[in-house]
Amino acid sequence: MAARIIALLLLVAILAFLQMRLWSGDASLTALHEKQARLTDLQSTHESLAERNRRLFAEVDDLKTGLGALEARARVDLGLIGPDETFFQVIEDARTDQITPPRGDANTLPSTPPVPVAAPAASAANKAPSTASTGR
């Protein structure tokens, strides 16, 4: 009978030790869940960085081989304007009093009347051929 009690106490001690390792320490369930969450975060970060690297490698390859990407990069970064292009700068949030001084101010230049612009004369190449008879 005493052997049974000792065996039962030994089994309870082993079970308590295993339960203690299961609920606390480095190999516990909470540590396992934290490590799984960290692994998921690292995997998503790795995927986003791998996609970024693929895009950068594609851009480098395009810059090495094609002129379109190089021209687009020069337009964005350096403000490239082509020879047959006109640059217009649009100011979005400008107030009119910042651009044009108010009228009647002593410091403003005198206003000049608008100059009429004459219509360009039609050239001979643009005129329609006459329908006069040639006498034949």
In whole angstroms, what is the distance from residue 11 CA to residue 15 CA?
A: 6
How is residue 113 written in tokens? 């009347």
| Residue 57 domain boundaries | 37-79
Mean of pLDDT values over 11-24: 85
Tell me whether residue 73 is in a domain. Answer: yes
Tell me whether residue 52 is in a domain. Answer: yes
Tell me whether residue 59 is in a domain. Answer: yes
97 pLDDT exceeds 90?
no
27 pLDDT exceeds 80?
no
Task: List Cβ neighbours of 117 (8 Å cut-off, separation of 6 or more).
Answer: none
CB 78 within 8 A of CB 72: no
Q: Exposed, middle or buried: residue 53 (CB in 10 Å: 0-12, 13-18, 19+)?
A: exposed
| Total domains present in the chain | 1
Find tokens 């910042």 and name the residue: 98
Mean of pLDDT values over 52-59: 94
pLDDT digits (tens, 9 = 90+) for 113-135: 555 555 555 544 444 454 544 55
Tell me whether residue 5 is in a domain. Answer: no
Average pLDDT score, the chain? 77
First to last CA, the chain: 146
81 pLDDT exceeds 60?
yes
Tell me whether residue 91 is in a domain. Answer: no
